[in-house]
Chains A and B, each alone.
Chain A
């Protein structure tokens, strides 16, 4: 057992912590609202080769492990990065996995920074891919359509809804003109398996980002509780405050360990990866939700004011955790992985 990141991984963490401290301050996060996209942060991330980490050398990347990606995602979550980091990592891995000429070309332009690819992880409804993460800024959408996995250019008919997490989401109609330009990447069972694998990737990376949100929320809550006085003492000295923060810190530590373990399992215990990814997501989502709530609540009325940063965490903890799948649905997914789908013999 070794729970410390390697020296190289620590350097990776430090490098991204430095980048996010500079390019994703709370002022920058606010400035990027309501769309939730900071082009400068994104170009810095692309420039550092972050997207290229997603795929191996054969596909034009430099083949980082899922655990490396997870460590970056934790920093992304801690700083509430206004950039489609997880979405693009998931999309590039999906394109590399399905292979073929069309996917290869799209992957090449994505790695070069020429195109921004979003994946619809939920099946479209009524001919619309709804609330697609990064859909508001994507040039291309990868989506299951009539049991085929297709890539379509995203047109001007997309609708960008304001949302609680200031995420660059979009409802993207799969209109006739869009589908006329669609390129088929994969068909039938391969297609749905590819989206399912992309969902595992999204769950594990988002789990790590949410673990980052949880840790930072606890930190913000603790800092405030050490500083704020009421009834003649620091409020952190009241058990009603200290005990709840202790519970949050405990869950946050567990969320980080589990999120890292799940990412580690992608290469080291592949049989357990899908189960652990769903576990990590469900636990990190509920932990980030509870920790950001506790930290906000202990600010009293100030926590309710937009001026304080904790509300930024509170909103994203909820949005990132529910945009694709609820924690409860992830628990069902854990059961699916352990016992087979419902109705299995």
Chain B
């Protein structure tokens, strides 16, 4: 029987996660994340570890909770709805997953226990100044020198590098072959000479970094995967990533917008919730939330049901991020000048969340693959159109 509910067990898990987040994501923590632009907090991370929610999708014997894709989706939705500081955890577990699947025994025993205990932060070193969406064009060089490699280059958007213990680095080891074929991955300890971190501030307020690598020496023991097989190694993690999407961010936007509309009055004292334009905007936002949820949940359901996923993942990310951006813009215009007041103005509507969403939403259509990259994937994998250019 067709059924659009996630199921009772998922509802219970959702209630459990939501109660935990209501207690843990305090106004103080929100403000700390907002002021610093750092979506990571050691105390919050420890609390997640205690609940077993660091890598809940991992098998129990490896330190996870063996949750299925639908349960993972539920946890992900709640973390995003609360805007919990999980960016550092996200990249750490993504790298740990690659180590688990493609690392050496020594790497596994050194890294995995610490990662799951929340004791280390691992960050991603993929993008470069001249290689963003075209990430396989990476030019950061790694040259073998005996049992070591010497690394020179520069990475963009190395978020959390300033608190990172390791950077998962995409390097070029062979410049003479096709670009996807000459790449190698390293897990580079950041606490060493030649690694330099420079802060970069973004439109959402998030702090990210440029990282520089000058004659950084790394032991061959830190190579992850085979030499020149870095593309395969890097994409290992992607295959375990289910159901990316921003439905829960749209839900947060809608909840905040509805709370605003219920209270706000116009210059004549009439409720804004009686304004037809406000109602249409909220109606459209609610529709986009429902569609985003369905597209995202479909991917999790397919993973669980063993149905092969082709274009459905990109559809979820593309639709929900574009909808979030469009609706955040719309609600700011509908609210009017007061929507311009920022987080730190105590009179800002909805604590300034609408103004924050206006800026935050822009990044969602860019990171983890721009909308154009996702449209390419849908056109090719989903519709069978020729490679686009």
Mark A residues whose CB is within 8 Å of B: 1-6, 9, 67, 218, 222, 225-226, 233-234, 236-239, 241-243, 245-247, 249-251, 253-255, 257-258, 260-261, 264-265, 268-269, 276, 278-279, 282-283, 328, 330-336, 338-339, 342-343
Interface of A is mostly: helix
Q: Is B311 an interface residue (CB 8 A)?
A: yes
Contact B290 A279 (CB under 8 A): yes
Q: Is B110 an interface residue (CB 8 A)?
A: no
Closest to A282 in B: B287
Chain A residues with Cβ below 8 Å from B290 are 258, 261, 276, 279
- Which listed residue (A3, A249, A334) contacts B383, Cβ 8 A? A249
- The 0/1 profile, CB within 8 Å of A marked 1, for residues 358-389 of chain B is 00000000000000101110111011111111
Chain A residues with Cβ below 8 Å from B382 are 246, 249
A320 to B91, CA, bound (A): 48
Chain B residues with Cβ below 8 Å from A255 are 291
A-B residue pairs in contact (CB < 8 Å), sample of 25: A1-B5, A1-B70, A4-B305, A6-B2, A9-B2, A222-B384, A225-B385, A233-B386, A236-B385, A242-B376, A242-B388, A246-B382, A249-B315, A253-B295, A253-B312, A257-B291, A257-B294, A258-B290, A261-B290, A269-B5, A279-B283, A279-B287, A335-B280, A335-B282, A339-B282
Contact B286 A1 (CB under 8 A): no
> Contacts A254-B291, A254-B319, A331-B283 hold; do A246 and B5 have CB atoms under 8 A apart?
no
Given contacts A245-B383, A330-B283, 11 further A-B contacts (CB under 8 A): A1-B301, A3-B301, A6-B2, A226-B385, A264-B2, A268-B4, A328-B280, A332-B280, A333-B283, A334-B287, A335-B283
Contact B276 A236 (CB under 8 A): no
- Which listed residue (A225, A246, A261, A335) contacts B4, Cβ 8 A? A261
> Contacts A2-B2, A242-B375, A261-B294 hold; do A331 and B385 have CB atoms under 8 A apart?
no
Contact B301 A237 (CB under 8 A): no
A91 to B247, CA, bound (A): 37
Contact B3 A1 (CB under 8 A): yes
Chain B residues with Cβ below 8 Å from A242 are 375-376, 379-380, 383, 385, 388
What total of A-B pairs shows CB separation below 8 Å? 166
Contact B383 A338 (CB under 8 A): no
Q: Is B318 an interface residue (CB 8 A)?
A: yes
Q: Is B7 an interface residue (CB 8 A)?
A: yes
A279 to B287, CA, bound (A): 6
Chain A residues with Cβ below 8 Å from B1 are 2, 6
A336 to B283, CA, bound (A): 9
Chain A nearest Cβ from B294, distance in angstroms? 4
Contact A236 B283 (CB under 8 A): no
Chain A nearest Cβ from B247, distance in angstroms? 11
A197 to B294, CA, bound (A): 25
Contact B283 A250 (CB under 8 A): no
Chain A residues with Cβ below 8 Å from B70 are 1
Chain B nearest Cβ from A268, distance in angstroms? 7
Closest to A1 in B: B301
A198 to B305, CA, bound (A): 36
Chain A residues with Cβ below 8 Å from B200 are none
A269 to B6, CA, bound (A): 13
What are the 7 tightest A-B residue pairs by CB atom distance, in nearest-first order?
A: A331-B283, A335-B279, A242-B379, A334-B283, A246-B378, A236-B385, A237-B386
